[in-house]
Amino acid sequence: MTPTPPDKQQALVARLTDACGGSYSPETRRKFFISGPQWAAAYEGHAIFHAPTRPPIGFEQVIEEYGKLGIGHWTTHDTDVIPSEALGSAAQDEIVARIKKSLADNGVNCSMVTTETFHHAVFASSPASESPEIRKYAKWRVCNTVDIGHELGAEFAVYWPGSLGYQVQGAVEETDTLRWYAESLNAACERDIEVAKKRGRPTLKHCMEAKPFEPQAEILLPTSDAMLGFINSGLLTHPEMVGLNPEYLHELMWGGAPRAALARALTAGKLWHFDINDGYRLKHDVDIAVGLVNPLDWLNVLVLLRSHGYKGPFNLDYKPPRTTSNFGVFKVSFPTAVDRFITLWEMAGVVMEDSIIREASAALRAGAGASGNDPKELFEANKELMTLHELIGHRLVQILIGAHRGRTYSV
C-alpha cells in the first residue's frame, strides 16, 4: 500500500469506520440513558508518563458533538468547565449560563455533576484532610456542585474521593478521616435538601464511586462494597440519599467480578449510576471503551442489569486512547463505544429470550425432585443437570459471536 499523506488520513479513517457498518442512528442512541462525560471527550491523552497528544477542547464542542452523535446526556466535574479560581464567583454563573445554552441548543441534558476533590494541590492530603480549613473548603466545593447540579437540571451527583487514603503508613487516622469525609457528604445532602425545596425539584441522587488504587498508595474506601459499609456506618446523616456509582473497570482492578459487585449493589438497592468502560484485571485504570476487552463479561453484566430493570444512567467513563486524534474521538471513539454498548444491550435481550438458556436455567432451578438430607444422594440426583452450567457458558459465547444463528467456520 502506498503511504497515506496527512491530508488523506481523516478520510481513510472515516471510510473504514463507515465500512464497519453496524452503527445506530442518533435517534436510536438517544433512547438509552447513555451519558458522555466532559472529561472523557476532552481528555488530552496526558497521564503521569504521558504528554498530551490532543489539543484541548471546550464544553461547547463536546456538547455539540454529543448532540450530533445522539449521546443525549452530559456529565461534568465542576473544574472540567469552571477554573478552580472562578468557582462560586460571577464567572461561574456566566459559564453555567453558557453551558445551559449549549445543552439547550443541542438537545442534550446534564444528568450528573461531580466535584473534583483529587486533582488540585489543595487536596494533596485528601478532601478529608486533618486541616479543618481544607475540610471546610471541601464542604463548600461539594455544596457549590449541588447548586450547579440543580441549576443545570441534573439528577445525580457523583463522589469519587480520589486521594482519600495515604502514601505513608500511620500518618492518617482512618476512623477520623472517614468521619471527616462523611461530614462533607452530609453537607452536600443537607444543602441539596435546602436547594431542592427552594426550587421545587427532587433532591439529587448522591452516588459514591470506589477505585482500589490510584492516586494514593492505600485507599480508605477501595471498593463498592467498602462504600456500602460506609453508607450504612451511621456516619451519614442521610444514608437514604446516598448510593453507588460503581465503575466496571474499578471492580476489575481489585480482582473482583464486576457482575457480582453490581449484584451486591442491586440487592442493597444502591445501584443508582454506572460508569461503563473496560480494561484488565489487577492493572491500573486504563479506562478503555466498553466491550473492547471483556465483551463476554459485558454481555453477562447487561443480562443482569436488564433482568433487574436497571434503566441507566450508563456513563461513558473511558479515555479515548492517546493514539486517537480529536477527529477520531468523535468519528470513531464515541460512536463505536455507544454502538457496542447498544449491541451488547440488545444481545442481552437475546440471551434472556434464548430458549436453550431459558430451559437450562429453569431445569437447574427445578432441581431433580430428590428428597432427604443425604449429601451423596442429593449430589447423585443433580449430577447430570449441573452439566448445564457449561452448556449455558457455551451458548452465551455462541450468542456473542453470532454462532447461535448457525454460523459455522469451514475447515
Q: Residues 275, 278, 339, 354: which binds ligand XLS (CB under 6 A)?
A: 275
Q: Residues 285, 302, 316, 347: which binds ligand XLS (CB under 6 A)?
A: 285
The entry of Mg ion, ligand XLS, none near residue 114 (CB within 5 to 8 angstroms by kind) is ligand XLS
x/- mask, ligand XLS, residues 49-78, rule CB under 6 A, reads: ----------------------------x-
Shorter beta-carbon distance to Mg ion: residue 247 or 251: 247
SS3 309: coil
The entry of ligand XLS, Mg ion, none near residue 273 (CB within 5 to 8 angstroms by kind) is none
Q: How big is the site for ligand XLS, counted in residues (CB under 6 A)? A: 10
- Is 160 a binding residue for ligand XLS by CB under 6 A? The answer is yes
What's the grid cell of residue 395?
Answer: 451458548
What single-letter DSSP state applies at residue 115?
-
Q: Is the peptide bond before 52 cis (omega within 30 degrees of 0)?
A: no
Tally Cβ neighbours within 10 Å of residue 346: 12
- Is 158 a binding residue for ligand XLS by CB under 6 A? The answer is yes
- Is 248 a binding residue for ligand XLS by CB under 6 A? The answer is no
The entry of Mg ion, ligand XLS, none near residue 78 (CB within 5 to 8 angstroms by kind) is none
- Is 275 a binding residue for Mg ion by CB under 5 A? The answer is yes
CB of 247 to Mg ion, least distance (A): 4
Shorter beta-carbon distance to ligand XLS: residue 147 or 275: 275
- Is 188 a binding residue for ligand XLS by CB under 6 A? The answer is no
Shorter beta-carbon distance to ligand XLS: residue 226 or 385: 226
Q: Cβ distance 120 to 79 under 8 Å?
A: yes
Task: Please give the helix or strand (H or E) that residue 314 lies within, else none.
Answer: strand 314-315
Q: Residues 225, 247, 251, 354: which binds ligand XLS (CB under 6 A)?
A: 247
Cα separations in angstroms, 358 against 118, 261, 302, 362: 46, 24, 16, 6
Contacts with Mg ion in 297-326 (CB under 5 A)? 317
Q: Which residues of 392-401 are buried (b: 16+ CB within 10 A; e: fewer)?
A: beebbebbbe
What's the grid cell of residue 360?
Answer: 437450562
Contact residues for 133 (Cβ-Cβ < 8 A; gap 6+): none
- In angstroms, how far is CA 60 from the centroid of its own chain? 22
Contact residues for 240 (Cβ-Cβ < 8 A; gap 6+): none
- Is 209 a binding residue for ligand XLS by CB under 6 A? The answer is yes
x/- mask, ligand XLS, residues 315-354, rule CB under 6 A, reads: --x-------------------------------------
Mind giving me the DSSP string for 271-288? B--EE--B--TTS----B
Which pairs count as long-range contacts for 49-57, CB under 8 Å and 24+ apart, including other chains? Answer: 50/322, 53/322, 53/323, 53/325, 54/322, 54/324, 54/325, 54/326, 54/329, 55/326, 57/326
CB of 287 to ligand XLS, least distance (A): 7
Q: Residues 191, 211, 340, 404: which binds ligand XLS (CB under 6 A)?
A: 211
x/- mask, Mg ion, residues 222-261, rule CB under 5 A, reads: -------------------------x--------------
Return the closest-CA partner of residue 252 out of 217, 212, 214, 292: 212
Shorter beta-carbon distance to Mg ion: residue 292 or 385: 292
Which residues are near ligand XLS by CB under 6 A? 77, 114, 158, 160, 209, 211, 247, 275, 285, 317
Residues that bind Mg ion (CB under 5 A): 247, 275, 285, 287, 317
